Structure 1
Amino acid sequence: NYCLQRNIGGFMEELIEVIQGLKQPGCIDYIQLGSAIVSVIASIIAVFVAIRVLKTIAENQNKIALFEKRYELFQFYRKCQSFLYAIKRDKTIEEIRNSCSTIFEIDCKNTNIKGILILLSKFENASYQIHFLFPKIKEEDARKLYLALYYFILQIVKSEVYDINDVEDNKKDFILKMESFKSNYEDVIITQLKLGDINDN
C-alpha cells in the first residue's frame, strides 16, 4: 500500500508539473484546446438533435392533419352508406325525404333549391378531395357516386310535384353506384384511415 501511495503520489506530482509547464510561454494549452473541441462537438450534436426533433414534430403534425382530412371524408362516406341502407328500406317519397333529412341534415321539405345546391356543393368538394386523400380511389368513381347522390337528392326535394318513376330511377342509380363504390373501396378507406399511412400509393 505504501509503495502504491508513493507511485500515485509521484504520478500526481509529475502530472501537476506537466500541467504547470503548459502555462509557460510558447506552450500549447492542450486542456483548453481539448475543452474547446469538446464544446464544439457538443454544440454540433445538440444542433442535429434539435433538427431531428423538429423534423419528427413536423411529420407528426402532417400525419394528424392528414388523418383529420381523411376522417371528414370517412364520415361523408358513412353517411352515404347509411343513406343506402335507409332508401333500400324506404317505400315512399316521404320516408326517403325523412332519411335524407336525418342523415345529411338537409331539410328536404323546407329548404329551397338554392339552399339545397349550396349543401350539395359540399358533397362535390368531398368527391374532388377523396382521390387525393385516398390515392387508391379513382377520381372517376368518386365523381359518379357524387352525381348519383346529387341527382337523387334534387329529385326528391325540388318540388311537391314529382314523377315517381324518375325518383325510382335515380334511387336505383344511387344504390348501384354506392354498392359498387362500397365493394371496391371500403377496405381501402378503412385501411388508409390511419396516422401512419401518410404516403399511400
Structure 2
Amino acid sequence: MASIFCCFRGCANFLDLGIATTPVPIKKQPLIVLDSQHIGQEVVLIKNGSRICGTGGALANTPINQDKAYFEVRLQQTGIWGLGLATGKADLNKVPLGNDPDSWVLCSDGYLRHNKEELHHITQIPQEGDTIGISYNHIELNFYVNGQKLDCPFTNVKGEVYPAVYVDEGAVLDVVFEDFARDPPPGYDKIILECSNL
C-alpha cells in the first residue's frame, strides 16, 4: 500500500497545473502573556493576552526566576491603573493592587504602594501613550517612564513574583514581554520562560 502512495507522490512532481503557491507567514505567538487563569472576574484580556481592560488585575503566565528581568507596559488609555509585581496570592478582584502584602505597584496617581503603605510618590506621572519599563533583580524593583529611571525603587519584594497589572475606569494597558520600545537597563533582559524536565 505504501508503494502506491510513493508512486503518486512521484507523479505529482510531474504534474504542473500552473498554480503558483506562496508561503503563508505564520505569526509567532508570544510565550509570555497575561494569564487568563489568573485574572480578576471583570478583566478582559485581548490581543493574545497582551492587552488588559475592564476592572481588576492580571498576572503573567510565568514568575520571574532569572537574576535580572525587564518588561514594559504601554499606557494605551488613561483611567485608574497600576503595574509592578505580585505573588500568586494577590487578590486580583480588588483594585488598586498594593493594598496587600502580596503586591508592589506603581499606581496611576503616582504612588508606589505595598501592603496599604504609600512608599514613594513620583511627580512625573505617566500619561496616555507613555511606556513604563519595569526592572527587577530580586533586590530592587525599579520603574522607568519613557526610558528615564524614576529612582524610587521597592527594596522589600519577597517570594515568587509575577509581572502584575490592574485597570479600572476605562484604563487600557498593553504588556510587552519582548521587542521593547526602550532598551532594558544594562545587564537586564526579557523574562525567560523556565522549563522543567520531569
Q: How does the TM-score come out when normalised to structure 2? A: 0.24
Q: Which has the larger radius of gyration?
A: 1
Normalized per residue, the structure richer in helix is 1
Q: How does the TM-score come out when normalised to structure 1? A: 0.23
Normalized per residue, the structure richer in strand is 2
